[in-house]
A and B are shown apart, each in its own frame.
Chain A
Amino acid sequence: MKDLMIHVERIVRPVRARQSRKLRMRRELLAHLQAALEQERAHSADDASALEQARQRLGEPAELTRELQRSVPLIERVLLARTPENWNGWEKRAGKRLGWYEPATLAHWLVLCGTGAVAVMIICLFAPHIPPEARTRFFVDGIDHPAHARTVLAVVWVVQVFWFYIGMRFLTAAAAPAGVFRLPRVIRRGTLVVAAQGLLMVLIITQIVRRSPTVAEMARTLGISLLLLGVTMFVGRGVAALRRPYDEWLTLDLTQ
Chain B
Amino acid sequence: MATITGDALRGHLETLVLSALRRGDAHGFEILRRLEEAGSGALKLKEGSLYPALYRLEAAGMVKGKWEDSATPRRGPRRRIYRLSQKGQRRFDEARREFQLFTTVIGGILGASA
Contact = CB atoms under 8 A, between A and B. Distances in A.
Contacts, number: 64
Given A24-B80, A32-B29, A67 B49 contact: yes
Interface in A90-105: none
Nearest to A69: B52
Interface residues of A, number: 23
Interface stretch (B71-79, B88-96, B105-113): B71-79
A34 B77 contact: yes
Nearest to A37: B76
B80 A28 contact: yes
A34 B27 CA distance: 13
B49 A64 contact: yes
Interface in B44-69: 46-49, 51-53, 55-56, 59
B48 A30 contact: no
B79 A31 contact: yes
Contacts of B46: 57-60, 63-64
Contact of A73 (B6, B48, B59, B77): B59
Contacts of B53: 71
A27 B77 contact: yes
12 contacts: A28-B28, A28-B51, A30-B76, A30-B77, A31-B29, A31-B77, A32-B51, A60-B46, A63-B46, A67-B48, A71-B52, A73-B59
